[in-house]
């Protein structure tokens, strides 16, 4: 209580309202929704941090791989040298395509031992259109598989960004309904009777937005990086197949 100079009570002392006070004033449904949003936030942040590290590694290793690949004059040179660039989806496409190339060369009569033991430049042009297309299909299929792997778990971020605000709104509407319902039961229209309940109800909306905003930003950033990586993989696949055609395609 506040007191005047004569010690007579005038007004009730103010209650400092905070997150803890709002949680205490929430109904059971609001507390359950806050718990669900908190757990969803943990998963969303886990996915964001993991995917950001994964994409950073993919960018660095892909850059190193492209630098090494474009220094060579032969498309199979890095494969012959057993160079590895773990973490790069471009390298995975290259590795699978090189294996398919060796199988195709063996099928058309070239000496695979000479190819894979370092005999770069000694292969003859023996691959027809069907064999070139078979190698191209392996490259494109591997590229699609790598794109799907990069997009793994992105649906969780999209779900968190789109559903968290609605979950928060559900908790708020539910809490406000109960607060006004309690006011009708008690028969009092004072703001102090419904303010604590409304404060607790609004907490779910705040928590929902705190979950949705980082998830939406992270999803958009990662989607942009995934799009760039997909375009880079597609460009490299075309470059690799062109190099293979120039080296091995049978001249008509």
- Residue at 4 is within a domain: no
Rounded to two decimals, the pTM is: 0.76
- Residue at 15 is within a domain: no
- Residue at 83 is within a domain: yes
SS3 letters across 211-247:
HHHHHHHHHHHHHHHHHHHHHHHHHHHHHHHHHHHHH
- pLDDT score recorded for residue 206: 85
Cβ-Cβ contacts under 8 Å for 16 (sequence gap 6 or more): none
Write out pLDDT tens, residues 229-244. 999 999 999 999 998 8
What is the C-alpha separation between 231 and 138, in angstroms, rounded?
A: 18
- Residue at 87 is within a domain: yes
Write out pLDDT tens, residues 195-228. 556 666 777 888 888 899 999 999 999 999 999 9
- Residue at 13 is within a domain: no
* Sign of the four-CA dihedral 203, 206, 209, 213: negative
- What is the number of domains present in the chain? 1
User: 118 falls in which pLDDT band (50, 70, 90)?
Assistant: very low
Domain extent for 73? 27-248
Region 153-174 average pLDDT: 86
């Amino acid at each position: 209580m506040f007191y005047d100079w004569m010690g007579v009570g005038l007004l009730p002392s103010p209650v400092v309202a905070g997150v803890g006070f709002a949680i205490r004033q929430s109904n059971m449904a609001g507390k359950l929704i806050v718990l669900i949003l908190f757990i969803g936030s943990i998963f969303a942040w886990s996915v964001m941090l993991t995917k950001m590290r994964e994409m950073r590694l993919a960018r660095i290793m892909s850059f190193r791989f492209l630098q090494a690949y474009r220094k060579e004059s032969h498309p199979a040179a890095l494969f012959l040298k057993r160079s590895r660039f773990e973490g790069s989806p471009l390298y995975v496409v290259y590795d699978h395509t090189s294996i398919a190339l060796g199988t195709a060369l063996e099928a058309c009569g070239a000496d695979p031992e000479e190819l894979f033991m370092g005999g770069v430049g000694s292969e003859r042009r023996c691959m027809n259109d069907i064999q070139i297309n078979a190698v191209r299909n392996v490259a494109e299929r591997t590229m699609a598989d790598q794109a799907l792997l990069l997009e793994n778990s992105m649906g969780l971020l999209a779900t968190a960004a789109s559903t968290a605000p609605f979950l928060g709104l559900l908790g708020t509407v539910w809490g406000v309904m109960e607060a006004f319902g309690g006011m009708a039961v008690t028969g009092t229209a004072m703001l102090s009777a419904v303010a604590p309940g409304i404060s607790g109800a609004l907490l779910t909306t705040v928590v929902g937005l705190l979950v949705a905003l980082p998830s939406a930003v992270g999803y958009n950033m990662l989607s942009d990086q995934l799009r760039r990586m997909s375009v880079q993989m597609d460009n490299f696949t075309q470059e690799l197949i062109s190099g293979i055609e120039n080296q091995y395609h049978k001249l008509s």
